[in-house]
Structure 1
Amino acid sequence: MERFVDVAPGVRLWAQDHGAPDASPLLLIMGAQASGLGWPDELVELLAARHRVIRYDHRDTGRSTWAFDERPYPLTALAEDAVAVLDAFGVERAHIAGMSLGGMLAQLLVADRPERLLSATVFGTRALSSLPYTAPDGTRVPPDRLPGVAPALLELWSRPVEDRGPEAELERRVEHWRALGGDVLPFDADRTRALERRIIEHTGHHRAGDAHARADYSGMDRTEQLAGTRVPTLVVSALAEPVFPPPHSEHLAQAIRGARLVEIPGMGHALPREVHAPLAAAILEHTARA
Structure 2
Amino acid sequence: MHQYVEAAPGVRLWTEQRGDADAPPLLLIMGAQASGLGWPEPLVDSLAAHHRVIRYDQRDTGRATWSFDRQPYRIADLADDVITVLDALGIERAHLVGMSLGGMLVQMVLADHPDRLISASLIGTSALSTTPYTRPDGTQLPADELPGIFPEVLELWSRPVEDHGLEAELDRRVAHWRVLAGDQLPFDAGFFRTLERRIIEHTGHYTTNNAPGRADDSDMLRTDQLAENEVPTLVMAAPAEPVFPPPHPQHIAQVIGNARLVEIPGMGHALPPAVHAPLADAILAHTGAAS
TM-score by length of 2: 0.99
| Corresponding residue SS for 2:74 | coil
Greater shift in the superposed pair: 134-143 or 164-173? 164-173
| Corresponding residue SS for 2:118 | strand
| Corresponding residue SS for 2:235 | strand
- Cα distance in structure 2, aligned partners of 1:183 and 1:275: 14
Cα RMSD of the aligned pairs, angstroms, is 0.7
Amino acid aligned to 1:161: V
| Corresponding residue SS for 1:244 | coil
- Cα distance in structure 1, aligned partners of 2:87 and 2:164: 40
- Cα distance in structure 2, aligned partners of 1:82 and 1:167: 33
Aligned to 2:265: 265
Aligned to 2:78: 78
Aligned to 2:193: 193
- Cα distance in structure 2, aligned partners of 1:59 and 1:266: 31
Aligned to 2:37: 37
Alignment of 1:131-170 (within 5 A): 131-170=131-170
| Corresponding residue SS for 2:120 | strand
- Cα distance in structure 2, aligned partners of 1:18 and 1:257: 31
- The answer as to 2:99 corresponding to 1:99 is yes
Aligned to 1:54: 54
Aligned to 1:238: 238
Aligned to 2:114: 114
Alignment of 1:215-254 (within 5 A): 215-254=215-254
- Give 1:101 shift: 0.3
Greater shift in the superposed pair: 157-166 or 72-81? 157-166
Structure 2 unaligned spans of 5+: none
| Corresponding residue SS for 1:149 | coil
- Give 1:151 shift: 1.4
- Give 1:87 shift: 1.2
- Cα distance in structure 2, aligned partners of 1:89 and 1:197: 28
- Cα distance in structure 2, aligned partners of 1:206 and 1:197: 9
Aligned to 1:130: 130
- Cα distance in structure 1, aligned partners of 2:157 and 2:12: 29
Aligned to 2:9: 9
- Cα distance in structure 1, aligned partners of 2:258 and 2:27: 21
Amino acid aligned to 1:6: E
Amino acid aligned to 2:46: L
TM-score by length of 1: 0.99
- Cα distance in structure 2, aligned partners of 1:165 and 1:233: 42
Aligned to 2:279: 279
Task: List per-residue Cα deviations over 1:127-185 (Å, max 9, x = no partner).
Answer: 00000000001111011111111111111111111222222211111110110000011
Moved over 6 A (4+): none
Task: List per-residue Cα deviations over 1:17-39 (Å, max 9, x = no partner).
Answer: 10000000000000000000000
Amino acid aligned to 2:42: E
- Cα distance in structure 2, aligned partners of 1:169 and 1:142: 39
Amino acid aligned to 1:113: H
- Cα distance in structure 2, aligned partners of 1:59 and 1:134: 36
- Cα distance in structure 1, aligned partners of 2:48 and 2:105: 22
Amino acid aligned to 1:85: V
Structure 1 unaligned spans of 5+: none
Amino acid aligned to 1:188: D
- Give 1:64 shift: 0.2
- Cα distance in structure 2, aligned partners of 1:174 and 1:278: 23
